[in-house]
Structures are given as structure tokens and as C-alpha cells.
Amino acid sequence: MGNGHRFIHLPIVCYAVPMKPENAANKAAGKAAAALLDGLQQIIKGKREFLELLVAALFAGGHVLIEDNPGLGKTTVAKTLAKLIDGKKKLVFKRIQFTPDLLPYDITGVDVFDPKTLKFRFVPGPVLANIVLADEINRATPKVQSALLEVMAERQVTIGQVSHRPPEPFLVIATENPIESEGTFPLPAAQLDRFMMKLSLGYPDRDAELAILDENPAEKGLANLKPVIKLADFMATKEAAAAVFCHQALKEAIADIIRDTRIHRGFVLGASPRAGLHFLEAAKALALVRGRNYVIDEDLVMITVPVLAHRVKLRDPRTQADKLIREICLARINGIKTDGIKTE
């Protein structure tokens, strides 16, 4: 991963409890997830782990914050997702370029008076789309950033006394540039907590760079890209992800990891209960993306940092949240393995 995450691959541990055998729905969901992942890899070269996490967030119904340098393909990721899922109508992709002069109604929409009917009519904003790219979100003022809070958390925009709902699926992919701080407004904790994951694409390796030079996937490849799954299959896969089995011991590990961030002396702000829900939902979806109908300990290790690191605040700003959170996760996972849980 480009943000320095080093995933530690643990021995796979399957907890010896009754698990649902794979049925036709499970297999169809697995095929849909694999097709979406393969479609993304046609355009986004050499970033499988990033794409697995992104697709997991999508099937878990979460939003993603990408912190990365310019020109690495953040817009291309969102456009590719929109083209790969097919419905009765094409999925709507909207890009919002956040700037200091942006106003809340530029995002949410506004009621406009129609002189012909002598009534107000609602003109929807770009946030009422299937896939929304909030580009350089930290360049907008806090008032504008807060315009996203309701729709990200509650899947609705309220204008006056009327609520308007975005279509399904609904995903916000927000980006921020880590190397520039002038004219930016850091996202508050309440805003960050709405994002299921914070990811980084990072620079491609040499082979991927050569493939990009040869194929120019963001231009030629994207223009020729065809849908790989139907919208109905996508929604069914979301339901299958929510039904993935997670052993009680792993749920307890998630709860303990969340609690540890609150009592660890290195943090002044720990993870919220929403973070715990996102943790479990993302683990289930990642298991499905990786071809299983049950969660294993390695799923938790892989998503701990992307799900939690952006939600905590450190006592010492020189300390790396990634490192502390990974240590907490590994300690809890190792504790499960040594606590006499029967494994196979």
C-alpha cells in the first residue's frame, strides 16, 4: 500500500463452530465481487490490496477517504466503479471540486422558484448521485464540509422541510492532498468518523508503471470498459456481505480493540461505537471479496488500520497511529489464539 501500511499475514485460523455451507446466493455474490474486482484491475494497475479494501467498503455500504498525491488515479477509481455496475439506468457519477468559495447548496441542491407554476421546485445537487467524488474535501470551509454529514450518515438531504434520498448504491469517495496545507481546513472528528475507511493508492511499482505507459488505461481502457455486474446482483451481494459469519471470539476482539483505543495512554480520542460497527461490516465484506462466507483473524488485521487510524487522536503528534493500532490488534488476535479457543 502506498501509505506505508504493511499487512502482516497470519496463519489462517478457522473457528470450529457450525458455519453455513455455501449456497447458490453465496456463490453468486462471490462471483459478482470477483467480477467487480477484476474489472477495476483492468484500469487500476498493481493495486489489488487497495482495490480489495475499496470493494469491501462498497459492499459494506461505507464511504472512503483517500489521502494521496495528485495524479495517482483517484478520479479514475470512482469513474471505473460507476461504469462497471449496470442498472436500468446508468449509475450516476458526480465529481465535486471543493474550493473555499463553495456553498452548502452547491452540494446538496436548492429549492428554486418557478415563475410558470408559481411554486418552488427542488434542483438536486451533485451529492444525490450513486458515486460522488468529493475532490480535495479539506479545501472547503467547515460549513460546506458539514453539508455532507447528513447524507453520508443518514442517506438523505433535507432542504427546508423535505428530505431527499440519494439512489442506491450510494458511495462517497473523498480525497485530500497530504502535501499541501495552505488554504485547507482539516476535517473534524465528526466528519472523519463518517468514513468507513481511509486509504491510499500510492505510486505504482515498475511493472504497473510500464503497463500504464503501454495501455493508458485511464483514457483508452476506461472508454472501452463494459459493465461486469447488474445492479440487482450488486444489491444481492451487499445482502450476502451482511450475512457473512463472524465468530463470537472475533466480535469480542473487535470490541476489545475499539475499547483499547479509548484507554491506551497514547490516544486522547478513541474510536467511536460507529467505528466498531464499521469494523465488523468491513470485515464481513472483505471476507466475501476474498471468497469466504466467514471472517478470519487475517481480515481483522488487514482492515484495522484503514478503519480506525483516521478516527483517533494521538497524545504525541510525532507518534504513528498506524503502528499503535496494529500493535493493539495483533495483541488481541494473539490473545484469542492462546485463550483455549478450539481451532482447526
pTM above 0.75, yes or no: yes
Q: Can you tell me which residue has the cell 445537487? A: 125
Q: What are the backbone dihedrals phi and psi of residue 215, each rounded to the nearest 5 degrees, phi first?
A: -105, -20
What's the number of domains the chain is made of?
1
Supply the pLDDT for residue 340.
Answer: 39
Domain housing 326? 24-337
Q: What is the CATH number of the domain that holds 331?
A: 3.40.50.300
Q: Report yes or no on 12 lying in a domain.
A: no
Mean pLDDT of 107-132: 88
Q: Report yes or no on 211 lying in a domain.
A: yes
pLDDT tens, 166-175? 888 889 999 8
Mean pLDDT of 197-224: 84
Asked if 238 and 59 touch (Cβ cutoff 8 Å), the reply is yes
Q: Can you tell me which residue has the cell 470498459? A: 225
Angle at 74 between CA 45 and CA 213, to 5 degrees: 40
Mean pLDDT of 38-43: 90
Asked if 189 and 149 touch (Cβ cutoff 8 Å), the reply is no
pLDDT-derived band at 181, boundaries 50, 70, 90? low
222 Cβ contact partners less than 8 Å away, ≥ 6 residues apart: 43, 76, 79, 80, 83
Measured CA to CA in angstroms, residue 81 lies from 59, 171, 175, 226, 241 at distances of 12, 10, 16, 11, 18
Supply the pLDDT for residue 180.
Answer: 62
Q: Report yes or no on 314 lying in a domain.
A: yes
129 Cβ contact partners less than 8 Å away, ≥ 6 residues apart: 92, 93, 94, 166, 167, 170
Share of the chain above pLDDT 90, in %: 32
Q: Report yes or no on 320 lying in a domain.
A: yes
Q: Report yes or no on 343 lying in a domain.
A: no
pLDDT tens, 231-259? 889 999 999 999 999 999 999 999 999 99
